[in-house]
Amino acid sequence: MFKKKPFFIVFEGVEGCGKSYQSRKLSQNLKKKGVNSILTREPGGTKSAEIIRKVLLNDYFFKNPKEQFDKYTDTLLYLAARNEHVKNKIRPALDKNKVVICDRFTDSTIAYQVYGKKVKQDFINKIHKYILHNIKPNITFILKVSAKSSQKRLKKRKIKNRYDKFPQSFYSKAQQSFLKLAKNKKNYYVLDSSENNNILENKIFTIVKKSLNIKK
């Protein structure tokens, strides 16, 4: 029998790695076991944060660079969305002993803004100190995907956003950043998501069941 306790699970990886799909499948599998979980995403997750998400994802499509956000403005918007998300959804859910499953969190900020755009990490760390209040994932799944599989999945998407349009070199660099963040960390699991089958889904669920002490 599952004993209720707060638990925070995050899925990270580049576009086309299947993290949104796997986070949904995990949520469904937990509900079948009677586990009270919520599924959310970043940027977004709350009404106010989703408004910021829309602004962020649309910004990339302004062709004139002068109309696009400065990298620090861009980063501050991501962090503003996270503040709304943590304050109004993640923390309240954890306080109620729920399992929270999140599609992207702080590692995406480090991979894309710090490693990608060269935003100072100290700048982000100082803001995180005030908005996170020590909230950290219990488990982070880094989904590693081949370039071929990633591109194939992105081509099938009907609705595109800014990150679906970047060159392959960007995704390769971002993936290396995620792998670097996961290195030598016990609560990180790097899993290959290149194949479209249920092996990965079962592997993820097995890890989570063990962590939550869910029998069978």
| pLDDT tens, position by position, 58-92 | 765 556 667 788 999 999 999 999 999 999 999 99
Question: Is 7-212 assigned to CATH 2.40.30.10?
Answer: no
Find, among 98, 109, 11, the residue nearest to 56 by Cα.
109
Find, among 86, 84, 93, the residue nearest to 55 by Cα.
84
Structure confidence by residue, pLDDT tens digits, 27-63: 999 999 999 899 999 999 999 999 999 998 876 555 6
> Which segment of 71-80, 111-120, 170-179, 198-207 scores lowest on mean pLDDT?
170-179
Domain spans in the chain, listed from the N-terminal domain onward: 7-212
> Global pTM?
0.90
Report the C-alpha gap between 48 and 145 in whole angstroms.
31
Structure confidence by residue, pLDDT tens digits, 120-143: 999 999 999 999 988 999 999 999
Find, among 94, 92, 91, 105, the residue nearest to 44 by Cα.
105
Helix count and strand count (H, E) for the chain: 9, 5
